[in-house]
Amino acid sequence: MIELVNVKKKFDGKIVLNGVSFKVERGETFVIIGQSGTGKTVTLRHIAGLVDPDEGHVLIDGVRMDYADANTKTTLREKMGIVFQSGALINWMTVEENIALPLIESRKYSKNKIEEIVNYYLRILQLTDARNKMPAEISGGMKKRAALARVLVRNPEIILYDEPTAGLDPVMSRMIDELVRQMQRDFGVTSVVVTHEMQSAYYIADRIAMLYKGELIACDVPENIKSSKNPIVQQFITGSIEGPIEVQ
């Protein structure tokens, strides 16, 4: 479904990804962990075709995303939804209008059907009272939930999440985790999730990959990550101040 093959990337001469390879199977929830600045979000941007690697390849359903022409990238992106950490809502549109926008642009749905779909996601993401508010009038957590709703209305095959539970309270974080699992269970959605929240990672992941200094140092099922003998992995997942991890 998604495959990175020896992906390398530098920005301003600094190595961000150094030969990263992994494959995400269809219907899998693949979680990427690691320190800030170690290449997690850059990895998502490669999958989405927002940046191209200096070396290596990125494939979606066997088709190369890297350096593809505009039409190919558009076709591949139509399979995806991206939940950015910031939310990336359109400031001059209400929450309801932001969520409805992908359905309106698709021109596949009647006005009544759009209203039905939007109301469903407003309800399950507890945004009904915010439907007529502007992004500047709602909390960061609400912005994140609205951004997630805007992605979910399209029923994408692939969802890329950048820190989906950051800044949310424990109850709302668990609700987002449950939604990720529901999308996998009910619709077979393939998810790639970047997170620092280990409790969330253990709960939603089929596999967890850890990046360190731009390299993939571990990739396994949650149980094996928990019991990893790699001291870098252990220090990160336990949050210990003692260990080999260098402060970035």
| Chain segment 83-141, per-residue pLDDT in tens | 876 667 889 999 999 999 989 988 888 999 999 999 999 998 889 999 999 999 988 77
- The residue that leads in pLDDT, 57 or 139, is 57
CB 4 within 8 A of CB 55: no
Return phi, psi of residue 227, to 5°: -100, 15
Q: Please give the pLDDT value at position 243.
A: 85
Q: Please give the pLDDT value at position 182.
A: 86
Out of 7-21, 35-49, 73-87, 223-237, least confident range: 73-87
Average pLDDT over residues 210-225: 96
Q: Which domain holds residue 215?
A: 1-79+187-248
Question: Helices 170-187 and 140-152 meet at what angle, rounded to 10?
Answer: 10
Q: Please give the pLDDT value at position 87.
A: 63
- Please say if the pLDDT value at position 180 is more than 80: yes
CATH code of the domain containing 3: 3.40.50.300
In a domain, 119, yes or no: no
Residue whose C-alpha is closest to residue 89's, from 148, 143, 126, 140: 143
In a domain, 98, yes or no: no
In a domain, 26, yes or no: yes
Three-state DSSP class for 220?
A: strand
How many folded domains does the chain comprise? 1
In a domain, 66, yes or no: yes
Q: Where is 44: in which H helix or E strand?
A: helix 40-47
**How does DSSP classify residue 138?**
S
Q: Please give the pLDDT value at position 155.
A: 85
Average pLDDT over residues 161-184: 86
Residue whose C-alpha is closest to residue 122's, from 138, 105, 107: 138
pLDDT-derived band at 248, boundaries 50, 70, 90: low
In a domain, 32, yes or no: yes
pLDDT-derived band at 48, boundaries 50, 70, 90: very high
